[in-house]
Amino acid sequence: MTTSNLSKIKPKFRTQGNITGNFGKPKMKAGSNTDLGFSTKDNIKVTREKDYIIRLYDALDKTTDPKLKKFLTFEIKKYLIKTNQWHS
């Protein structure tokens, strides 16, 4: 039986970055948005609660997905309880 060099092969040292030295930075998928958390008030649009509820009811009328229906009814019920409009 001959002796093998396979046990002497050392694994390559792998970094999280490319050859330019991306040490200490977390891994990211290609094309991911690195500006998350750095929004300015110019590009933020807050939806009013009234408009959100209208959109929920509209989505509830159009969907056939049971999971989505469950979520929508939960959100609508939560809003109705919050505004003291819920009647069981």
Tens digit of each residue's pLDDT (9 = 90 or more) over 15-60: 555 555 555 666 555 555 666 666 677 777 888 999 999 999 999 9
Q: Would you say residue 61 lies in a domain?
A: yes
b or e along 20-52 (b: 16 or more beta carbons within 10 Å of the residue's beta carbon)? Answer: eeeeeeeeeeeeeeeeeeeeeeeeeeeeeeeee
| Residue 72 in domain | yes
Q: Residue 23 domain-assigned?
A: no
At 86, the pLDDT band (50, 70, 90 cuts) reads: confident
Return the structure tokens found at 83. Answer: 């505004």
Answer whether residue 12 is part of any domain: no
**pTM > 0.75:** no
Question: 67 lies in which domain range?
Answer: 55-82
Number of domains in the chain: 1
Look at residue 38 in the predicted model and tell me its pLDDT: 67
Contact (CB, 8 A) for 39 and 46? no
Residue 77 falls inside a structural domain:
yes
